[in-house]
Amino acid sequence: MLDDADSRVSTRAASALLKVGCNVARAKSFLRYTAALGELSERENAIIAMGEWGDTEAFVFLVNELKDRQLPVMIRRVILASLTKIDPAKSISYLIEGLGHVDVSVREAAADLLAKIGQPVLESVLTALQKPKQEEGALLALQQLPMPPQKPIEEYARAAVSRAVEYDALMRGVKAEASNEAIGLLLESLQKKSNGYGVRALRAIGLLGDRDSMNLAIEILEMHNSAQRANVIEALESLNSRRRSIIRPLMRLWEEESAPDGKADWGRLIADDDSWIRDCALFAAHKLGEIEMENIATLSLMERILFFKRVPLFANLSPSDIKQVAAIAEEVSFSNDDIIVRQGEVGDVMFIIASGEVRVIASKDNKEVELARRKVGDFIGEMALISKEPRSASVAAVGNVHTLCINQKSFESLLRDRPDVSLAVIQVLCERLKEAGLKLHR
């Protein structure tokens, strides 16, 4: 059965052999081989089986696998679960590390597993709360653990409130400057940063009382309805007086429209410990002529980000998500009449028009029909990526055209991760279908 084509059967057979102590060496080496080199689902099953086999050898092997930075997130999550199964106490340090992983699903999995271990992890999670990279994950874990001691949580909340207020003040200072797109990007990022700290402070205070009500309050604060926000702020006043005084300075964060105040502190902003804030600040100061931006690569990335912000498809993405898209896009230019994509060919990239205009043309009965013209901010070539069919039409440049090109893999992960982008793409596709139907049947 170790040779069965279905990895669920072969990996189960291996665990059964290990349990009864028969053919142990072969079963172990089969599981190790499959866990490291199998297809994704085979790897998953083998790692689960290793969690059940559960000896030090398996633990060491899985810890080694975790070191691979390219490890698919799904495999990383299963490894963490298996480590916890084999040896909960020894797995704690790996789970704590998982709290700081860039992928939210890994952070959530690590937090869930820590919560399952329970009380023994509390101290390590409280230490993780002090580390900027792990604090978000630590809060997730704490929300599922028994009530933590009051003192470190209140201290954490106080520190988060002061960071929130600091970023709010920085934001108001920048708001007093002239407004342009680069300043807009910096303001949005500072506001996000300030709100992020504010929300984390509230979540921490929530840990010491009614967690569900605090979560509901936070959800409402993040909505756009100012009347409801005011109600929540009033409700928060019902907290006990010490905690009320900790969070009181946050209230101005959720005011209707934050007023400009003072002036931009460029020196402080370009030295921020968050590299995204530093880049935004440098870029905004550069645009205002305050500071010369020397790093051309960053300058061009920031210009691209501004461009992507204007593309309706990405309008709802947060600045840091846009940064991801902008970083993966490549610039490609075309001259008049160049064919950008050819009808019938296989396609593995899509283009966003950065400048110029293109014609979408389809052949019908050996005649060319112009289906549409597309301009700055529009995208083309997405259909072949979604349908995996050949290009539905040809697209030709009208004059010089600059595009930003995104490959299939990045486009797919964007659609998977961002439901609002998927929805926007579907809307555009529907319009195009209608348009093409009308033109071709005319």
* Residues at the interface with ligand CMP (CB under 6 A): 341, 347, 360, 371-372, 380-384, 391-393, 395, 432, 435-436
Which is closer to ligand CMP, CB of 52 or CB of 382? 382
Q: Which is nearer to ligand CMP, 68 or 435 (CB)?
A: 435
Report the nearest approach of ligand CMP to the CB of residue 432 (Å). Answer: 4
Q: How far is the CB of 405 from ligand CMP (least distance, A)?
A: 12
3-state secondary structure the chain: CCCCCCHHHHHHHHHHHHHHCCCHHHHHHHHHHHHHHCCHHHHHHHHHHHHHHCCHHHHHHHHHHHCCCCCCHHHHHHHHHHHHHHCHHHHHHHHHHHCCCCCHHHHHHHHHHHHHHCHHHHHHHHHHHCCCCCHHHHHHHHHHCCCCCHHHHHHHHHHHHHHHHHHHHHHHHHHCCCCCHHHHHHHHHHHHHHHHHHHHHHHHHHHCCCHHHHHHHHHHHCCCCHHHHHHHHHHHCCCCHHHHHHHHHHHHHHCCCCCCCCCCCHHHHCCCCCHHHHHHHHHHHHHCCCCCCCCHHHHHHHHHHHHHHHCHHHCCCCHHHHHHHHHHCEEEEECCCCEEECCCCCCCEEEEEEEEEEEEEEEECCEEEEEEEECCCCEECHHHHHHCCCCCCEEEEEEEEEEEEEEHHHHHHHHHHCHHHHHHHHHHHHHHHHHHHHHHCC
Nearer to ligand CMP, 341 or 424 (CB): 341
Minimal distance in Å, beta carbon 382 to ligand CMP? Answer: 5
* Comparison of 216 and 436: residue with beta carbon closer to ligand CMP: 436
Of 30 and 379, CB closest to ligand CMP: 379
Give min distance, CB of 331 to ligand CMP, in A.
19
Pick 205 or 384: Cβ nearer ligand CMP: 384
Q: Which is nearer to ligand CMP, 283 or 314 (CB)?
A: 314
Smallest gap from residue 420 Cβ to ligand CMP (A): 20
Nearer to ligand CMP, 269 or 372 (CB): 372
CB of residue 434 vs ligand CMP: minimum separation in angstroms?
8
